[in-house]
Structure 1
Amino acid sequence: MGSTITLKNVAKTYPGGQPALRRLSLTVAAGEFLVLLGPSGCGKSTLLRMIAGLETITEGELHLDRVLANDLDPSERDAAMIFQNFALYPNMTAAENIGFPLAVHKQDPAEVEHRVESAATALGISHLLQRLPGQLSGGERQRVAMGRATVRRPSVFLLDEPLSSLDARLRTRLRLEILSSARKSGATTIYVTHDQAEAMALGDRIAVMRDGILQQVDTPRGLYALPANAFVASFVGTPRISLIHGTVYAPIDGVMAISLGAQQLALAMPLSRDHQMLRVVQGSPLLIGLRPEAVRIAERTRATEFERPLTGIVEHVEFQGHETLLHLSIGGQRADVPPQALPDLPAGPARSNAAGLTRKLISHAKAAVRRRRAASPLPPPSSGIETANSGELVVRASSGAHHRRGQHLPLLVDVRSLLVFDERGERVSPDPTHIPNL
Structure 2
Amino acid sequence: MSTEINFDGLIGPSHNYGGLSHGNVASKNNALRISQPKKAALQGLQKMNYLRSLGLEQGVLLPQQRPHLPTLRALGFMGSDREIIEKASNQAPEVLAQCYSASSMWTANACTVSPSADSRDGRVHFTSANLSSMFHRSIEHGNTSALLRSIFSNDAHFVHHDALPAGNHFGDEGAANHNRFATEYDSAGVQLFVFGRYAFRENRHTTAKFPTRQTFEASQAIARLHQLNDDRVVYAQQNPKIVDAGAFHNDVVSVSNLNAFFMHEEAFVDSEALRHELSEKFEGELAFVVVPTEQVSLESAVKSYLFNSQLIKLPNEEGMALILPEESRENSQVYNYLQGLENQSSPIKQVKFVDVRQSMQNGGGPACLRLRVALTQDEVNAVNPRFLLDDALLDTLNVWVSKHYRDEIQPADLSDPSLAEENFAALDELTQIFDLGSFYEFQR
Q: What TM bracket, shorter-length normalisation?
A: under 0.3
Where relative contact order (Cα < 8 A, 6+ residues apart) is larger, the structure is 2
The structure richer in strand per residue is 1
User: Which structure has the larger Rg?
Assistant: 1
**What is the TM-score with the length of structure 2 in the denominator?**
0.25
TM-score (norm 1): 0.25
